[in-house]
Amino acid sequence: MGWKPNRTRRTWLASCASTVAGVSVLAGCTSDSSETNEDEPENDDALSADTWPMYGVDPQNTGYHPTATGPTSEDVTAKLLLESNGTVSDSPAVIGDTLYTAADNQLYAINTETGENEWRSDFPDIRGAYPAISDNRIYVGMNEGIATVNRNNGNLIWQNSVGISNVCPVVDSGAVIASENLLLYQFDIDNGEETIIHNLRDDNLGRPYTSIPAYDDGSVYFAGEHVLYSVNAKNGSVEWTFENPEGKSMGECNPATDGENIYISGADKRLYTIDTEDGTQKWSIKTKSETPQSPSLANGILYVVASDGVLSGGGSWLLAIDTKKEEVIWEDSLQSNINYKPVISNSSVYHANSRQVLAYDRETGDRRWKIDEFNEPIAGPPTISDDHAFISLKSGEIYLIT
């Protein structure tokens, strides 16, 4: 295997918002401009129960925040927090009592208690890619590249018009990672300069490909068509590849890792457990899902949606899979074939589909609550923070569920 720094998810949780270091991003196309200024960030506190910094919570894409708490009462209500004039196509990030989101060509910082704007910055090219936060910086994809702003005031730190659209950064203290246009990039934290670390075209591969890779200990895990890659983030070398045994696509899936294994689903209706050291398959399990879905992981239990095909009139289920027993321990039938990655708090697992948000006891699978009063499509997974859940609608609204 290639170079790997001594870093684990546990150390990331302790330092996600407390150190300033290098940044790398997976994205796609060639660079034509990069802008910087001297508005440097300050350090934050360690990740806490009121912090949800990015899609998947952490760079490993586990979707698990062990101290976060969401609503548990059966009688939950949804309160409008933001009504923008444009489209929201992401899940918000939350740090303390401030929510961050991109909508209608603006980046918002909203006080979750009052609903008032703490600041709002104009970005003509923002369409709404997932914001990601590390230290006091926000990394956000744009129509023509990626930008970094100061979390305290919204001032631009740097912008790279690299010719890519809506990258979804995965941020570690030493890396910001994302993928777009079949290319994997590394961006310099100080000036946004990009380095292509892998090009799927060189392997004669195309779409679909992972939109939000997993990153752990210096390795990036992502899929293109039927091939899963482990790529060294420092030098771009391919550490290993795993090919779907039936040649079926895995590229729609955003994989998750616990450091020892990669978990990824395929269009062959199976979820695979792959060794991070050499890319060998440890085991797989049937999921009933024709469309590869993105799993989440907490304490040896995988949570993943299975969807048996819209065109075939099949159903959808939320599955809980015990990775030690290699079996499904509970499942629940869903009412939509548009389903997002589950997210996990200290005791619950949350799932959003086209117009519903549901909460489950993560051990038993018992439903704790369901809210389905949304008249417009949901834009992404819920964000969980400080006994609340936040949900974005594609029509431009964000709701606080409590």
Span 193-199, average pLDDT: 90
Q: Is 227 inside a domain boundary?
A: yes
pLDDT band at 249 (very low <50, low <70, confident <90, very high): very high
DSSP structure string for 308-327: --TTTT--EEEEEEETTTTE
Q: Is 286 inside a domain boundary?
A: yes
Q: Residues 390, 398: contact at Cβ < 8 Å?
A: yes
| Confidence (pLDDT) at 310 | 52
Give the residue numbers spanning the domain of 38. 9-401
Span 29-35, average pLDDT: 38
Q: Is 390 inside a domain boundary?
A: yes
| Confidence (pLDDT) at 26 | 42
| Confidence (pLDDT) at 207 | 92
Domain CATH code at residue 63: 2.140.10.10
Q: Please tell me the least confidently modeled range out of 32-36, 185-189, 377-381.
A: 32-36
Nearest alpha carbon to residue 345 among 38, 33, 51: 51
- Each residue's pLDDT tens digit, 117-176: 999 998 877 766 689 999 899 999 888 788 999 999 999 999 888 777 778 888 887 778
Q: Is 216 inside a domain boundary?
A: yes
| Confidence (pLDDT) at 128 | 61
Mean pLDDT of the chain: 85
Q: Residues 229, 198: contact at Cβ < 8 Å?
A: yes
pLDDT band at 73 (very low <50, low <70, confident <90, very high): confident
Q: Assess whether pLDDT exceeds 50 at residue 9.
A: no
Tokens of 35: 């802008």
- In order of 63, 70, 92, 288, 308, the CA distances from 228 in angstroms are 20, 33, 28, 20, 22
| Confidence (pLDDT) at 37 | 45
Span 355-384, average pLDDT: 94
Q: Assess whether pLDDT exceeds 80 at residue 305.
A: yes
Whole-angstrom Cα distance, residue 78 to residue 168? 27
Q: Is 1 inside a domain boundary?
A: no
User: CA-CA-CA-CA torsion for 235, 240, 246, 249, nearest 10 degrees?
Assistant: -20
- In order of 79, 82, 101, 143, the CA distances from 105 in angstroms are 23, 14, 11, 10
Chain centre to alpha carbon of residue 74: 27
| Confidence (pLDDT) at 5 | 33
| Confidence (pLDDT) at 290 | 83
Nearest alpha carbon to residue 348 among 69, 23, 2: 69
Q: Residues 34, 192: contact at Cβ < 8 Å?
A: yes
Q: How many domains does the chain have?
A: 1
Q: Please tell me the least confidently modeled range out of 97-111, 167-181, 325-339.
A: 167-181
Q: Assess whether pLDDT exceeds 80 at residue 14.
A: no
Whole-angstrom Cα distance, residue 200 to residue 196? 11
CA atoms within 13 Å, Cβ hemisphere of 230:
28
Tokens of 257: 């890792």
Residue 373 phi/psi, 5° resolution? -90, 5
- In order of 102, 169, 225, 253, the CA distances from 165 in angstroms are 14, 12, 20, 19
Whole-angstrom Cα distance, residue 121 to residue 144? 17
Our CA angle for 399, 213, 112, nearest 5°, is 20
Q: Assess whether pLDDT exceeds 50 at residue 10.
A: no
Tokens of 308: 């048996």
Q: Is 348 inside a domain boundary?
A: yes
pLDDT band at 191 (very low <50, low <70, confident <90, very high): confident
Q: Is 4 inside a domain boundary?
A: no
Q: Residues 55, 381: contact at Cβ < 8 Å?
A: yes
Tokens of 263: 């978990």
* AA identity, residue 161: S
In the chain, the percentage of residues whose pLDDT exceeds 70 is 86
pLDDT band at 46 (very low <50, low <70, confident <90, very high): low
Q: Assess whether pLDDT exceeds 80 at residue 192.
A: yes
Whole-angstrom Cα distance, residue 176 to residue 401? 30
Q: Assess whether pLDDT exceeds 70 at residue 332.
A: yes
- 135 three-state secondary structure: coil
Q: Is 345 inside a domain boundary?
A: yes
| Confidence (pLDDT) at 339 | 83
Strand ranges across the sheet with 256-257: 256-257, 261-266, 270-275, 281-286
> What is the enclosing helix (H) or strand (E) of 234?
none
Span 254-259, average pLDDT: 97
**Cα first-last separation, the chain:** 46
Could you write out the three-class secondary structure of 142-175? Answer: ECCEEEEEECCCCCEEEEECCCCCCCCCEEECCE
Q: What is the largest CA-CA distance in the chain?
A: 55
Residues 6+ apart with CB under 8 A from 169: 25, 54, 129, 130, 131, 132, 139, 140, 141, 146, 176, 177, 178
Q: Assess whether pLDDT exceeds 50 at residue 293.
A: yes
Q: Assess whether pLDDT exceeds 60 at residue 226.
A: yes
pLDDT band at 35 (very low <50, low <70, confident <90, very high): very low
Nearest alpha carbon to residue 176 among 12, 53, 23: 23
